Amino acid sequence: MRGNEFIRRVQKYAKRKGISFSWRADRGKGSHGILTLGDTRTVVRNPKDELKSGTYHAMLKQLRITERDLS
């Protein structure tokens, strides 16, 4: 999954659950950005690149959601 797709899926999840969501590409360094879901946040590295498995699972853990939530 690419970073952009991850951001889109988290946004859909937030809308379904009525949770606040924000994506701030300008808050990170270089190609990194901050994704905020409710009171949790994670850093998304270059959204155009494919997410590595470990990075993807760490981001889910930081946001306190599961893969099932995004499907």
CATH number assigned to the domain comprising residue 32 = 3.30.920
Phi/psi for 34 (5° steps) reads: -105, 125
| CA-closest candidate to residue 65, choices 5, 17, 1, 2 | 17
Task: Indicate whether 71 belongs to any domain.
Answer: no
The distance in angstroms from the start CA to the end CA of the chain is: 12
State the total domains in the chain.
1
Residue 2 has pLDDT above 80, yes or no: yes
Q: Is the pLDDT of residue 19 over 90?
A: yes
Which tens digits make up the pLDDT trace of 45-70?
888 999 999 999 999 999 999 999 99
Q: Give the pTM.
A: 0.90
Domain interval for residue 46: 3-64
